[in-house]
């Protein structure tokens, strides 16, 4: 998720200069939506639809939710890039994003983001239901106005509360099937809520110098590795405990709690290993903070895969 592409030839940072090939322009607009991040959002959306349906949901509805969810999250990400273009130009991991390179102008990104927001809201409202549409729009507005404009540059707890936007796809998935929100959906919402800070903080540990240079108070910039690792362990415990609450909340089979317990144990092993390395004063590549980052993606994927499979287990 930190990979970047080389800067297109003939493009000057922050300006519109020719040439801007059509194919590269299309790719740049796609990049504005941050498709690799949206993959994670969809992982927490579609499986919930199976649980809410207690079986296979209407596949056309699934397709409508996936398309609408992508457009909504893509709009939020495009607006995020528009607002953060000054930060992106400073940090090495983001200096080749489309607005910074000039492949897409700030105005184009703003219009693109707003159009996606409007289209996704109408799409979900007309093809799914208006509750799902309102939840998706709420997530978009929260990400843009509360996280990006309000929290990101002001507090080290930015990803904690800003992460609420990333939890909303769970509620969108559930409401798309039931046109309501249940305790089971709330539990999964909270799992993603407590998953987000450790997942994000370990990545920030890797690129903390970038954020320090940009003046963004991410937790690893404010606290040392030991302080961050302790927070990771604390949130990890709450996340694992919360994941087990789905068993009584959704009346799942034995498969879900058994899998959640095993995945949680493996997560805690990695979290404590990171804390041990941090306490030992290990820095650089040997800190291996990205082990937990990559495992966090696997954890969420497998956990929600079991959420989708469980309704078929007697």
Kindly list the averaged pLDDT for each block of 10 residues, start to end, along the chain of length 314. 35 50 90 87 92 96 96 96 95 92 95 98 98 97 96 93 94 97 97 96 92 91 93 97 97 96 97 96 91 95 96 87
Alpha-carbon Rg of the chain, whole angstroms? 20
Q: Looking at the structure, give the CATH architecture of the domain made up of residues 29-170.
A: Orthogonal Bundle (1.10)
pLDDT at 19: 66
Q: How far apart are the first and last CA of the chain?
A: 38
- Give span(s): CATH 1.10.357.140, the chain: 29-170
- Give span(s): CATH 1.20.120.1780, the chain: 182-313
Cα separations in angstroms, 15 against 31, 79, 91, 105, 292: 18, 18, 18, 7, 38
pLDDT at 293: 95
pLDDT at 15: 43
Instruction: Return the CATH fold of 182-313.
Output: 1.20.120
pLDDT at 23: 85
| Virtual torsion, Cα 13, 14, 20, 24, nearest 10 deg | 80
CA dist., res. 296 & res. 270, Å (int): 10
pLDDT at 39: 81
Residue with tokens 């306490």: 279
CA dist., res. 56 & res. 98, Å (int): 39
pLDDT at 217: 93
Q: CA 301, 303, 304 angle in degrees (round to 5)?
A: 70
pLDDT at 4: 33
CA dist., res. 78 & res. 93, Å (int): 17
CA dist., res. 216 & res. 210, Å (int): 9
CA dist., res. 40 & res. 224, Å (int): 28
Q: Confirm whether pTM is higher than 0.85.
A: yes
């Amino acid at each position: 998720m930190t990979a970047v592409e080389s800067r297109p030839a003939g493009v000057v940072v922050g300006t519109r200069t020719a040439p801007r090939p059509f194919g590269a322009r299309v790719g740049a607009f796609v990049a504005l939506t941050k498709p690799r991040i949206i993959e994670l959002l969809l992982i927490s959306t579609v499986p919930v639809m199976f649980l809410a349906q207690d079986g296979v949901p209407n596949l056309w509805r699934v397709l409508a939710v996936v398309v609408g969810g992508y457009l909504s999250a893509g709009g939020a990400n495009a607006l995020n890039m528009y607002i953060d273009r000054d930060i992106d130009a400073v940090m090495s991991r983001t200096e080749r994003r489309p607005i910074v390179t000039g492949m897409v102008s700030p105005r184009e990104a703003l219009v693109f983001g707003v159009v996606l927001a409007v289209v996704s809201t109408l799409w979900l409202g007309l093809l799914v239901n208006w509750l799902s549409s309102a939840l998706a729009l709420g997530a978009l507005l929260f990400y843009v106005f509360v996280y990006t404009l309000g929290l990101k540059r002001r507090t080290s707890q930015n990803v904690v509360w800003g992460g609420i936007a990333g939890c909303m796809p769970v509620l969108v998935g559930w409401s798309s099937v039931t046109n309501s929100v249940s305790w089971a959906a709330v539990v999964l919402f909270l799992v993603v809520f407590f998953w987000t800070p450790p997942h994000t903080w370990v990545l920030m540990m890797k690129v903390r110098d970038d954020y320090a240079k940009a003046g963004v108070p991410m937790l690893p910039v404010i606290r040392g590795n030991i302080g961050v690792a302790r927070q990771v362990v604390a949130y990890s415990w709450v996340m694992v405990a919360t994941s087990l609450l789905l068993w009584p909340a959704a009346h799942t089979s034995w498969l879900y709690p058994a899998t959640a317990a095993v995945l949680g144990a493996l997560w805690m092993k990695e979290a404590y290993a990171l804390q041990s390395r941090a306490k030992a004063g290990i820095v650089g590549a040997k800190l291996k903070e990205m082990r937990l980052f990559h495992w966090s993606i696997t954890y969420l994927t497998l956990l929600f895969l079991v959420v989708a499979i469980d309704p078929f287990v007697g």
